[in-house]
Amino acid sequence: MSANNEVLLQVKDLEMHFPIYRGVFQRKVGAVRAVDGVTFDVRRGETLGLVGESGCGKSTTGRTILQLYKPTNGGVSFEGNDLLKLKGEEMRLMRRKMQMIFQDPYASLNPRMTVGQLVGEPLMVHNVATGAEINERVAHLLKVVNLNPAFSTRYPHEFSGGQRQRIGVARALALQPSFIICDEPISALDVSIQAQVVNLLEELQEQFNLTYLFIAHDLSMVKHISDRVAVMYLGVFVEVAERDELYAKPLHPYTQALLSAVPIPDPVADAKRARTILKGDVPSPANPPSGCRFRTRCPIAEARCADSRPEFREVSPGHFVACHLVN
């Protein structure tokens, strides 16, 4: 874990609501509250893991941070620069420092472009290199992600899923960024390939002093790669803590339920541990429950959980939780 306490990214009360239109005149009748007020920091050189069920707003959070979606409300500050105030050329220059590895390696690479064109495109767009220099940089980047530079003339369909994701990593590294959002980079890959990609990300982080926001479903993989972990449910953060503390002492009922579902290799210990089975489905983000978002599925919910939204507060040094019942 990085001992550097410098804050690289600061997110405050971030909201991303997608409007719902109906009728002939497309009248706005509501909004999908994909991200509904999240606040967190990412320190330089660390990996912040972001976990939660499908549809809880993890990927939307990542895309909104990079301004791929314009946020409905809130603030995003990167290296002290307010990204919401940057326009045009200023934002384009800032994008060199912030990149994204997308979830699906089969959909994120243009099938009409060769690997050399895909990895070299950022260099051309930002006028970082031209001509033969681009070819040299592409060959170097392919070596960095353990691919043969001779593959630069091939097309994406000629590669396996793991190789395609490596191409995506090489493309993200092309502009030498300091911050990369990894949007479930291993979820579409075979288990045997997942470890290779995660090990590659760790090696690159050490080599280039990268900072990651690592979005994933796999809690065991998040434990392996992350320094801190944030747990998200229905557009809000419910718990943030250092990795070892969160896994050893989860405080929020939702975090406890997620961790109880993680398989462990010891069958005796697995048989003895308590399981938390959540009932029902995740409510619609277009019509979230009042008060605590998790109360409709929480096994210990009380009447006050429906009345007011719990404050996201620090209960111990570095350990934040949003629950009325946690002291």
Pairing state between β 313-316 and 319-321: antiparallel
The reply to whether 327 falls in a domain is: no
What proportions of the chain, in percent to the nearest 5, are helix, strand and coil? Answer: 35, 25, 40
Q: Which range, of 194-198, 237-241, 247-251, averages the lowest pLDDT? A: 194-198
Reduced to 3 states (helix: H, G, I; strand: E, B; else coil), residue 10 is strand
Q: How high is the pLDDT of residue 1? A: 45
More confident residue, 261 or 172: 172
The reply to whether 104 falls in a domain is: yes
Global pTM reads 0.90
Q: Taking Cα atoms as reference points, which of 245, 265, 214 lies closest to residue 316?
A: 245
For residue range 201-237, list pLDDT tens digits in order.
999 999 999 999 999 988 888 999 999 999 999 999 9
17 φ, ψ to 5°? -110, 130
| pLDDT above 90: percentage of residues in the chain | 69
3 pLDDT higher than 70: no
Average pLDDT on 279-286 reads 87
Q: How high is the pLDDT of residue 4? A: 62
Q: How high is the pLDDT of residue 279? A: 83
The reply to whether 204 falls in a domain is: yes
CATH, residue 311? 3.40.50.300
Residue whose pair of structure tokens reads 């489905």 in the numeric block: 281
The reply to whether 326 falls in a domain is: no
The reply to whether 264 falls in a domain is: yes
User: What is the domain extent for residue 178?
Assistant: 7-321
Mean per-residue pLDDT over the chain, rounded: 91
The total number of structural domains that make up the chain: 1
The reply to whether 174 falls in a domain is: yes
Q: Which range, of 88-92, 229-233, 314-318, 319-323, averages the lowest pLDDT? A: 88-92
The reply to whether 1 falls in a domain is: no
253 pLDDT higher than 50: yes
For residue range 27-80, list pLDDT tens digits in order.
999 999 999 999 999 999 999 999 998 889 999 999 999 999 999 999 999 999
Let me know: does 174 contact 129? Beta carbons within 8 Å. no
